Amino acid sequence: MARITVGILAGNNEDIIGECLESAAWADERLVILDDRSTDRTAKIARGLGARVVRSRFCDFAQQRNVGLEQTRTEWLFYLDSDERTTPALGEEIRTRISEGECAGWWVPRRNYIWGKETRYGGWYPDYQLRLLRVEKARYDPQRRVHEVVLLNGPEGYLKEHLLHENYTSMSQFLTKQQQYVDLEAHIRLQEGGRPRLRHLVTQPLKEFWRRYVRLEGYRDGWHGFKLCALVAYYYGFLVTLRLMRLRRTEA
């Protein structure tokens, strides 16, 4: 029977790593790839629950995930973020699929909980993630430092059971994360040759808001959906464009 490792990227996650690992108790091995900047009890808690901990110098998320692939001792790896949880039903489905051996990777649908509310529209569901990987057939694209992309050598499939994602528990956590993503996204667009214009400071946020709130029906999540779509439009439309403009001026 094919064996599987659950891999978790972590760093200063002592408050949530235990619950995350316990949700993956069905795996043959649990591996924590720990950011070397981590200073709290994450490693101690993980080892206490039987997980193997590997410290890795953080460069970007793609690099960290490739470290996990290199450190995996089983044929299959299922990636789980520290703020995600698996379920027994998902574990059972994963066992079934890897025993069939028909795919090199599997996408899993994800239920997102933002500020304590499940968010079903605006592009937040089913939010498929390519997480179940045949180790010898997968690597992460080193050019994509955030919102990582798997380079998969083989066919893909789709699971039915869900990952549970406690995405952002508070507004302050959401805003902090978006600030980090703005810089990374702007650098990606710079590498791709992005050439923003002054008008894009207005048009890009409007396009992003229209896409999420109207086309992807974010309005169906009520006031919660409006706030979320507006904030994402501001960060990924306005602030990323502004940051990209500044980067291009620096290069000139």
Euclidean distance between CA atoms 201 and 224, whole angstroms: 24
Decide the pairing of beta strands 76-81 and 129-134. antiparallel
44-63 pLDDT, tens digit per residue, is 999 999 999 999 998 888 99
Q: Please determine, for residue 145, whether its predicted confidence score (pLDDT) is greater than 80.
A: no
- This prediction has a pTM of 0.89
110-143 pLDDT, tens digit per residue, is 999 999 999 999 999 999 999 999 999 999 998 8
Query: Taking the domain 4-167, which CATH number applies?
Result: 3.90.550.10
Q: Please determine, for residue 233, whether its predicted confidence score (pLDDT) is greater than 80.
A: yes
Three-state DSSP state, 134? strand
Q: Please determine, for residue 251, whether its predicted confidence score (pLDDT) is greater than 80.
A: no
Mean pLDDT score, 157-177: 94
Q: Which of 183, 188, 180 is nearest to 142 (CA)?
A: 188
Within the chain, all domains assigned CATH 3.90.550.10 are found at 4-167
